[in-house]
């Protein structure tokens, strides 16, 4: 059924870079055989799942939507992918993304754009735009994305699906091509909160991954207590964020309606402050490009992927391979990182950005002394048109409500709240929580979905 849906909808949506029909049919046959033999089935048995194309899966290419890795075949399988397969999931293929996860619209994919299933003249968000669109279009039931500054929650918001960025360390990053290693986190998309809870169980259930030194045990059953009432629990709202420039009225009223729904169910709404959030984007665009520049230094035209032919020296080969292998945004990020890490600029930019990181983390810690979760927008606006955000800094502002959570390492989830009255496009709210309280995020999400 999933392959049929993909056949029918891909011409319009183009969520996939590669459909792994052979792997899918083999996995489905295995599930059928186990069922016929009366063997126990995994919690995701037969569930069609798509993986962002920065996650390794043996039998597929892992391109990161970059010409640099256009023909790169995975030589091993990422822990997050393997855990979904171990739970019985059927791997449908690899989803489109912004090149190396740089972006908020999937427009920087080197191969093709992905169209928002609600309106194909609009972007699906990004960078996990293919993963979000594949679920929104009903091509798969669950998908995985990665979120460095909002790349799960923002496309989930624009495509009207649930998207969760777990706490940093909850899900292993082993086998996921690194962007900003101190910020990257893998998480699921689903149409319903329950689907996301099921996927979270698969991702974290087997405990910490010895192959990722930052992964931690997260011994929580996300389905158990999912329906617990929110009565008596405390939801923080940040008045300054609700007045932020760029936040549209439509999204604002959706978030306000979520606050009312929680209050009607007996939750207490309190005001909290996050005074340093205004500096989050600036700090992120120092820290993330520095880490990206370090991580992407491995693409040197020798070890992996695209290699310029006919060069007369190693320096020329590296330089031309990088010049022709990377797209515009990937180059911008790496040049920024190279500059920011050069001698003399460390004290001026890198060190202050790390100080801001500490301040933001402290802001959250203080806020969570008086509330269980914080309710805010996920994306400041609904899905925009292709080409509309031509200025990179305008695009960077798409993540004004998501980036701070990566900086602090906390969990967050974007919850769809129907269609905006004015635009007719999906609107959403975001719930953020303290580190390793991801289950409570899903309980609140369940209460407003």
- By CB under 6 A, name the binding residues for ligand GLN: 101-104, 127, 147-151, 179, 288, 399
User: Measured from the CB of residue 148, what is the shortest distance to ligand GLN in angstroms?
Assistant: 4
- The catalytically annotated residue of 20, 66, 108, 127 is 127
| 52 carries an active-site annotation | yes
Per DSSP, helices labelled H in 368-432 are: 392-396, 403-408
* Phi, psi (rounded to 5 degrees) for 427: -120, 160
Euclidean distance between CA atoms 160 and 136, whole angstroms: 7
Task: Give me the residue whose beta carbon is nearest to ligand GLN.
Answer: 151
For the chain, give the longest Cα–Cα distance: 72
User: Measured from the CB of residue 385, what is the shortest distance to ligand GLN in angstroms?
Assistant: 18
Determine contact, residues 137/15, Cβ cutoff 8 Å.
Answer: yes
| 331 carries an active-site annotation | no
Q: Which of 100, 103, 143 is nearest to 13 (CA)?
A: 143
User: Measured from the CB of residue 155, what is the shortest distance to ligand GLN in angstroms?
Assistant: 9
Cis peptide before 127 (omega within 30 of 0): yes
Residue 44 has which token pair?
A: 């995701």
User: Measured from the CB of residue 143, what is the shortest distance to ligand GLN in angstroms?
Assistant: 15
Euclidean distance between CA atoms 241 and 7, whole angstroms: 42
| 390 carries an active-site annotation | no
Nearer to ligand GLN, 136 or 395 (CB): 395
Nearer to ligand GLN, 154 or 317 (CB): 154
- Running DSSP on this structure, what letter comes out for residue 279? G
Beta-sheet strand order (sheet of 411-419): 16-19, 90-95, 48-52, 142-147, 185-190, 162-165, 411-419, 426-433, 373-376, 234-237, 268-271
- The catalytically annotated residue of 151, 215, 279, 414 is 151
Nearer to ligand GLN, 372 or 399 (CB): 399
Nearer to ligand GLN, 148 or 276 (CB): 148
- The catalytically annotated residue of 52, 67, 94, 165 is 52
User: Measured from the CB of residue 399, what is the shortest distance to ligand GLN in angstroms?
Assistant: 5
Nearer to ligand GLN, 103 or 160 (CB): 103
Residues tagged active-site: 52, 127, 151
């Amino acid at each position: 059924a999933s392959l049929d849906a993909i056949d029918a909808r891909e011409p319009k949506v183009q969520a996939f870079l590669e459909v792994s029909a052979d792997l899918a049919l083999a996995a489905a046959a295995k599930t059928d055989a186990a069922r016929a033999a009366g063997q126990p089935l995994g919690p995701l048995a037969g569930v069609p799942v798509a993986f962002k194309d920065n996650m390794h899966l043996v039998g597929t290419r892992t391109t990161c939507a970059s010409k640099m890795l256009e023909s790169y075949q995975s030589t091993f399988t990422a822990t997050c992918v393997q855990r979904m397969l171990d739970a019985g999931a059927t791997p449908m293929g690899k989803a489109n993304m912004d090149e190396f996860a740089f972006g908020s619209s999937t427009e920087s994919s080197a191969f093709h754009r992905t169209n928002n299933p609600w309106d194909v003249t609009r972007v699906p968000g990004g960078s996990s735009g293919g993963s979000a669109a594949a679920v929104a279009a009903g091509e798969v039931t669950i998908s995985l994305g990665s979120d460095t500054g909002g790349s799960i929650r923002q496309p989930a918001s624009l495509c009207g699906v649930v998207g969760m960025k777990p706490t940093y360390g909850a899900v292993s990053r082993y086998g996921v091509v690194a962007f900003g290693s101190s910020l990257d986190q893998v998480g699921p998309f689903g149409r319903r909160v329950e689907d996301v809870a099921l996927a979270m169980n698969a991702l974290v259930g087997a405990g910490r991954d010895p192959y990722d030194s930052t992964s931690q045990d997260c011994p929580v059953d996300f389905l158990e207590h999912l329906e617990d009432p929110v009565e008596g629990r405390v939801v923080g709202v940040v008045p300054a964020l609700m007045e932020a420039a760029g936040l549209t009225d439509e999204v604002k009223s959706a978030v306000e309606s979520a606050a009312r729904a929680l209050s009607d169910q007996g939750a207490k709404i309190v005001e909290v402050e996050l005074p340093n959030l205004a500096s989050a984007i600036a700090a992120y665009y120092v820290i993330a490009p520095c880490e990206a520049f370090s991580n992407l230094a491995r693409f040197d035209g020798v070890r992996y992927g695209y290699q310029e032919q006919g060069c007369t020296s190693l320096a020329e080969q590296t330089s031309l391979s990088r010049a022709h292998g990377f797209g515009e945004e990937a180059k911008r990020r790496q040049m920024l990182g190279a500059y920011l890490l050069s001698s003399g600029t460390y004290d001026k930019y890198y060190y202050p950005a790390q100080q801001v990181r500490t301040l933001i983390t402290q802001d959250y810690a203080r806020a969570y002394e008086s509330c269980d979760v914080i309710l805010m927008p996920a994306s400041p606006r609904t899905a925009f048109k292709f080409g509309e955000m031509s200025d990179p800094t305008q695009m960077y502002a798409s993540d004004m409500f998501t980036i701070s959570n990566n900086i602090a390492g906390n969990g967050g989830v974007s919850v769809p709240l129907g269609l905006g009255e004015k635009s007719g496009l999906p609107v959403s709210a975001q719930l953020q929580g303290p580190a390793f309280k991801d289950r409570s995020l899903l309980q609140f999400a369940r209460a407003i979905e």
